[in-house]
Structure 1
Amino acid sequence: MASGSAIKGSRVGSGPMGEAERGETAPRLYVSYFCANAHETRPAFAAEAQIPETWDCPRCGLPANLDSDNPPPPPRIEPYKTHLAYVKERRTDSEADDILSEALQALRDRRARGEVIY
């Protein structure tokens, strides 16, 4: 049985490869993007790659662009709407009153017939 001092899966000469063994790295271009919170992000792109106009800031998540003097504004977040808010968008108050009176009348009719209503 082998001793427990060796790292499993390692062998002599399996160290990290240098550039001589891997070859030269591809030319890179570092581009600065600026968000509304004045964060600067510098992702690396291949020199021949097409540079995107916008980039998401990794610190705050806001959109960032290439113009440091005029960063994009934060996106407007719509507040959560309740079911009642959606109903009020579709119906007027008079329509709601009509629907309520119809439902109450149907309930009263069922009670008059002796139906059990919980």
Structure 2
Amino acid sequence: MAERTLRGARLGGQSFEDERGIEFAARQQVGYRCPQGHEFEITMSVEADVPAIWECPRCGAESLSTSGIQPEAKNEKPARTHWDMLLERRSEKELEDILKERLELLRGGEIGPAHLHRANAKKRKATA
């Protein structure tokens, strides 16, 4: 490695290429202002789609473009609850019938935690 490297060159250091004859892409400065009053500019390509919102480098708040670009309004769906999804599959009458059936099975000792079955079995033996 030592024989092939240039003296004084650092690993990952600077490039020895010259910037002469290089044409840089066209750029634009886009200004933003956050709710805290911080103003800053971001350099972007002229061809880039300029976002309406950018994160403030000082406080991290959402900053709006000073050029008047408005953020797109998002159509937000209302949050679906478990109850909403259940009502899509069954009617309230069906749910009431299922609840009554399951409560009868639970009270009869056919379903449910084992400790409830043992207590019901002891009561049944005592009354019999």
| TM-score interval, smaller chain | 0.3 to 0.5
